[in-house]
Structure 1
Amino acid sequence: MELPDVERMVDDWERNAEEKARRYQEMSSQVSQVSITGSAADGAVKVTVGANGIPTDVAMTPKVRQLEPERIAAAVMEAMRSAQSQYPERLAEIMAQTVGEDSTTRHLLAEAKANFPAPQEEQPPPRRRRPPDDPEDFSTGSFMDRR
């Protein structure tokens, strides 16, 4: 390889590094402006999160007066998780538009998904089944039927 070829390779590498840095700066700028709102309790509570899923606003409508304090607190958390769970998708959109996929963006996206997973439906606790010969099991009839 001759010296002009090496110089051209170094110039190309520098140009690519500068372009990549510019794209990451654009990504960072767009991510810092992210704003996502989630709601709960039929819209009575709304929480907005910004960059990195950090809450930036909490709003409540007059409907909140009909809720018990515990339900209000739960609705705030539910709305926040709803907004945060949308963050990885928004981050992926920004990355695709600015820097594309590489090992760094895959890592950042995996971290966002781990930190802000999709909310799961609340499941009622499983019912405890009694043995069929349990004298306190009245699920198939009245206690009066037992002798």
Structure 2
Amino acid sequence: MSDPLSDNAEARIDDLVAQTKRKAERYRAMQQAVEQVSVSAASKDGTATVTVDSAGNVADLRITDRVREMSGDQVAKAVLTALRAAQAKLPDRLGEVMADTIGDDPRTRDTIVGSYRAKFPEPEPEPDEAPPPPDSRIGRLDDEPETPRPAEPPPPAPRRPAPPGDDDDNDEGFGGPVMIRE
């Protein structure tokens, strides 16, 4: 006669082994899919397009003939801008691949994607892409009156020195007397 407790334990162990094998297969599939990821981005003016692999390394670089009219600094800036933009796209793309392969393990996905976001953050806006000044008309309706900017406060009036020998209001040089006799 078989022991029901040992049969149950064996079934649970078999179940855990099967789950672990399935999980390992999904992780292998994820690794293979991640290795195939590449992301491209172009500079704002389109002179440079950079493709990066899943590690963020340059896999391809395309430069148009427009660079002939640009300085070396401008070309370098276009390439670096495109590179950073492509790298910044990696976390989202890898998150998609991981959701497809190991979707039932969001903690692992979030950890890996988070490390990619830390390594490849969104690029800072270019100086010419700075937010509009506060008095810009963006966001207002045309029939709204412009809000006048507050006037700059006038500079403080120069202080008159205290008359010599005036010791009643002596504050030891900390701001002078409050009232000045004339």
TM-score by length of 1: 0.80
Deviation at residue 110 of structure 1 after TM alignment? 0.7
Matching residue of 1:104: 108
Unaligned runs of 5+ in 1: 126-131, 134-147
Give the letter aligned to residue 25 of structure 1. Answer: R
Contact preservation (8 Å) 2:39, 2:89:
yes
Q: Note the 1:1-147 alignment, pairs <5 A.
A: 2-100=5-103, 101-123=105-127
Deviation at residue 41 of structure 1 after TM alignment? 4.4
Cα offsets for 1:62-86 (capped at 9, x unmatched): 1111211001111111000110111
Aligned partners of 2:111 and 2:63: how far apart in 1?
A: 36
Unaligned runs of 5+ in 2: 131-153, 156-182
Deviation at residue 104 of structure 1 after TM alignment? 2.1
Contact preservation (8 Å) 2:40, 2:50:
yes
Aligned partners of 1:102 and 1:47: how far apart in 2?
A: 30
Aligned partners of 2:24 and 2:45: how far apart in 1?
A: 44
Matching residue of 2:133: none
Secondary structure class of the residue paired with 1:2: helix
Higher helix proportion: 1
Give the letter aligned to residue 88 of structure 1. Answer: P
Contact preservation (8 Å) 2:43, 2:79:
yes
Over the aligned positions, Cα root-mean-square deviation in angstroms equals 1.9
For this pair of structures, how many residues does the alignment match?
Answer: 128
Higher-Rg member (1/2): 2
Give the letter aligned to residue 83 of structure 1. Answer: A
Deviation at residue 122 of structure 1 after TM alignment? 2.5
Higher relative contact order (Cα pairs below 8 Å, separated by 6+ residues): 1
TM-score by length of 2: 0.65
Deviation at residue 42 of structure 1 after TM alignment? 1.4
Q: Post-superposition, which runs of at least 4 consecutive aligned residues in structure 1 deviate over 4 A? A: none
